Amino acid sequence: MPKEKMTGAQALVRCLEAEGVDYIFGIPGGAILPIYDALFDSKKLKHVLVRHEQVAAHAAEGYAHATGRVGVCFGTSGPGATNLVTGIADAYMDSVPMVAITGNVASTLIGTDAFQEADITGITMPITKHNWLVTDVRDLARTVKEAFYVARTGRPGPVLVDIPKDIQNAEVDFEYPEAVHIPGYLPTQREEPRLKDAAVLVRGASRPVVYLGGGVRHADAHKEVFAFCELLDAPVVTTVHGKGAFPETHPLCLGMFGMHGGRYANYAVQHSDLIIALGARFDDRVTGKLATFAPEAKVVHLDIDPAEISKLVTATVPLVGNLKVLLPQLTEAVRKAFAEHRRPDQGPWKKRVQEWREKFPLKYRQEGQKHILPQTVVELLWRKTGGGKCIVTTGVGEHQMFAAQYWKTNQPRQFITSGGLGTMGFCLPASIGAQLGRPTDLVIGIDGDGSFQMTLQDLATAVDLKLPIKIFILNNLFLGMVRQWQELFYENRFSETPLTDCPDFVKLADAYGCLGLRARTVDELEPVVDRALAHKDGPCIVDVRVRRQEKVFPMVPAGAPLNDMIDGE
């Protein structure tokens, strides 16, 4: 292809088109004006004008999570760029592929404290997989190519490309590179010689547990995971990002474990003699007190990121590589090992787990309660959507954990939440991104009144785009999760957690031009849910007044052993 002369800004637009980008989330400003000007001429790129750059980043995450593609967001220099930071950090913690593009002041002004100057590559260094400040327009196309490659390969994550204004205006002979050569970055598959060792451990285990994390989703390895789990016929537990990695209504699945996991799931992990961790990272919310975590368990840890192996829990057999490639090989090795030697009888272990399940189910009691319980809302929504046949997004707090506990996720990419960073305000933006990425799917947000108020201005974006997202605010008029900790660990000293002065969400929806509904009693709930689900013409906000003091149980207090759970009684 002959090279074409154009500006850096036009070249960027061509790069994004070449990457197959469809949606970009952002807000223009002085230092990114040339790029927005070039965008004006693009027939392929659709820009979503958000009302806050944090939303741009979270929407890109929601899009990426729902589609498996790279999410893209734009911000101008200074405050535009710094507003992206929370979303970038969120994507980093949850390994979400994202390319953030920022305009910066002209190269000659960098380092002079120029108007709206921020050292965004410096600021985002620890929260990106990599970032670049483009100092020569001839490097731009290669940099963008590398940025997309780094974001989506290996362990995915966010990257940032900062482009000074003069570079956007400079002329270049454009050519988009076909290949990427980054010295020192080789996330390609290599042989894994320890598969046989892992298979020997699996074959010999009497009390195995499979532990699934968000890596299954990133690798799109659900089918491979299913085949492995069925072969093992062992209990399966997941992290919050592992939800949907294996069908949660499957008899082997014990759902989420950890701080708010089922008692039976935590017991299974604690009493296991072998944990097979697939695309998971043993973070403190799932292990509880590390020194007492699964004391008798050996560990097979398969992850794409070698830095995660033995970071917190020592792997007896580490396996490094892409789950989708490596797991079928492990499955075959295990199948062979099962054929060669009889495995220990799994009956007693399965019986024990089943007994825990029956003795310690997740439970709540709506009958006799004057107020709606949040768990009731989650279960009703699940039933009304044909057993969770939709995408769910959440905010952060008690409502998020109720959703994680009671929403049985059977398909991958259906439960979208902020796990690692725990970012309030995630729900609405993630819903916007997910709905754009999967326009024919139903998208439901389960949000908290506190979380919703952190990004609610972007109702305007959802209304503009007529997105039929439905946000159910489980409104307890509290920063509920913090209130829960204050009740349990700070002697009911509710310092700065009541949100009694919250706005009238129905009027707020009206002000933004979308449907607002409210349910105060159990009787009102079902008709309101039906009406919300039937509403196709733009977004709908539902203010569900829930019991204010309801707490999430079971709970492993921070720093306690995983089997040291407290519950409501």
Ligand X SMILES: Cc1ncc(C[n+]2csc(CCOP(=O)(O)OP(=O)(O)O)c2C)c(N)n1
Q: Binding ligand X by CB under 6 A: which of 265, 432, 479, 532? A: 479
Q: Binding ligand X by CB under 6 A: which of 79, 328, 422, 498? A: 422
- Of the pair 71, 397, the CB lying nearest ligand X is at 397
Candidate segments 44-52, 94-102, 392-400, 523-531, binder of ligand X by CB under 6 A: 392-400
Longest CA–CA span in the chain (Å) reads 75
- State in angstroms the smallest separation of the CB of 473 from ligand X: 8
- State in angstroms the smallest separation of the CB of 480 from ligand X: 2
- Of the pair 35, 259, the CB lying nearest ligand X is at 259
Q: Are 59 and 83 in contact (CB under 8 A)?
A: no
Which token pair is 19?
A: 């990457």
Contact between 53 and ligand X per CB under 6 A:
no
- Of the pair 229, 474, the CB lying nearest ligand X is at 474
Q: What type of residue sits at position 97?
A: P
In whole angstroms, give the CA distance from residue 319 to residue 304: 8
Which token pair is 419?
A: 């796990």
Question: What is the torsional sign of CA 361, 367, 368, 371?
Answer: positive
Binding mask 480-519 for ligand X (x = CB under 6 A): xxx-------------------------------------
Q: Binding ligand X by CB under 6 A: which of 272, 417, 435, 451? A: 451
Q: Binding ligand X by CB under 6 A: which of 62, 164, 208, 395? A: 395
Contact between 420 and ligand X per CB under 6 A:
no
Q: Binding ligand X by CB under 6 A: which of 128, 272, 322, 423? A: 423
- State in angstroms the smallest separation of the CB of 401 from ligand X: 8
Contact between 187 and ligand X per CB under 6 A:
no
Candidate segments 10-18, 151-159, 329-337, 390-398, binder of ligand X by CB under 6 A: 390-398
- State in angstroms the smallest separation of the CB of 228 from ligand X: 34
Question: What is the torsional sign of CA 90, 95, 99, 101?
Answer: positive
In whole angstroms, give the CA distance from residue 141 to residue 147: 10
Residues serving a catalytic function are 53, 115-116, 165, 481
CA atoms within 13 A on the CB side of 277: 33
Q: Give the containing element (helix H, strand E) for 155.
A: none
In whole angstroms, give the CA distance from residue 360 to residue 269: 15
Q: Which residue has the tokens 């050519």?
A: 175
Contact between 542 and ligand X per CB under 6 A:
no
- State in angstroms the smallest separation of the CB of 396 from ligand X: 4
- Which residue, 400, 556, 563, is CA-closest to 474? 400
Contact between 397 and ligand X per CB under 6 A:
yes
Beta-bridge partner residues of 237: 211
> What Rg, from alpha-carbon coordinates, does the chain have?
24
- State in angstroms the smallest separation of the CB of 216 from ligand X: 25
Contact between 424 and ligand X per CB under 6 A:
yes
Strands 298-303 and 274-278: parallel
Q: Does residue 554 have a cis bond before it (omega within 30 degrees)?
A: yes
Q: Which residues bind ligand X (CB under 6 A)?
A: 395-399, 422-424, 448-451, 474, 476, 478-482
